[in-house]
Amino acid sequence: MDLNTYQTQALLTDQVPGTSDDETAAALIVPMLGLAGETGQLLSEYKKHLRDGAAHRLFKDRVSEELGDLLWYIANVASKFGLDLDQVAEQNLYKVRARFAPTSAQAPERDSEFPDVERLPRQMTIRLAEEPGSGPRPKVRMTINGEGIGALLGDNAYDPDGYRFHDVFHLAYAAILGWSPNLRAFLKRKRKSRPLLDEVEDGGRARIIEEGVSALAFDYARKHSFLEGISEVDYGLLRTIQSMTSHLEVGEATAADWERAILEGFAVWRQVLANGGGEILVDLDARAISYLGAP
């Protein structure tokens, strides 16, 4: 039986018909309470299974029954919100695949049709080091092939927290997502041969959004041991980042892509912070960022 057929037939047995707009709201509250109640029943059956083991012979039958009741209430709530259960299921599969599906082996090439001078290098070694004599609070210089790129960066916080090394995150976005308008600007690889694209994708607004993403992820990481020993990022954060970037070329990046970029970026950032800088390999073909060693 397909989900749409089930949804239609389940609705014929509804004892509190109506829509989500009913003044009494009973038409919606009853099935919502039913979802909570049947979830409790399912947990109760599992509790009995843990307690009684093989003696609870009807365990699978009871689980099947409770899952069926849950499905009925889900179908009922969907009907009262005017939702198609088949579409709900399809959207959910799209969501979980985008959240957990393996990412491709290479970072996307977003500039393959542009001249070499407007393309991000597919491999590069970047050096981050604290600048001698930069003041009482250390500032960091980023260089490539001995040439300084970007600006000197401090923590910009009352308590030193290592944000001065946050250019690592731009490198991670480039390596994993093939995207970093800030790194393009630092390397003078903006796509000026197409003025509108340059304005939208490589311009000031896109750069501010990227900085916002970095700051948002950093704030989250600060509250979670800077992601030390953590293998998953909160899905709410990933959805917020996807919403912030949805109108840009990186809008096609999945939650899994962003999670990988954040986790691998912080893995390198922690090593850079511990050593006061170092060399970083950015490889878009291998979709990888790695720490090569102390400065």
pLDDT in tens, 158-183: 999 999 999 999 999 999 999 999 99
Most confident of 43-57, 104-118, 143-157, 177-191: 177-191
Q: How confident is the model at residue 100 (pLDDT cuts 50, 70, 90)?
A: confident
Asked whether 256 and 264 are in contact (CB, 8 A), the reply is: no
Q: Which residue has the tokens 């307690």?
A: 51
pTM: 0.84
Q: What is the mean pLDDT of the chain?
A: 92
Q: What pLDDT does 287 receive?
A: 96
Mean pLDDT of the 83-103 span = 88
Residue spans of beta strands (DSSP E) within the chain? 123-130, 140-144, 147-153, 277-283, 288-293
pLDDT in tens, 18-35: 766 665 578 888 999 999
- Inform me whether the pLDDT recorded for 244 exceeds 90: yes
Q: What pLDDT does 127 receive?
A: 97
Q: Facing residues of 283 across strands?
A: 123, 288
Asked whether 277 and 295 are in contact (CB, 8 A), the reply is: yes
Q: What pLDDT does 21 receive?
A: 66
- Inform me whether the pLDDT recorded for 186 exceeds 60: yes
Q: What pLDDT does 24 receive?
A: 58
Domains of the chain: 3-100 (1.10.287.1080), 116-293 (no CATH)
Q: How confident is the model at residue 57 (pLDDT cuts 50, 70, 90)?
A: low
Q: Which residues contact 56 (CB under 8 A, 6 or more apart)?
A: 45, 48, 49
Q: What percent of the chain has pLDDT over 70?
A: 96
Q: What pLDDT does 22 receive?
A: 60
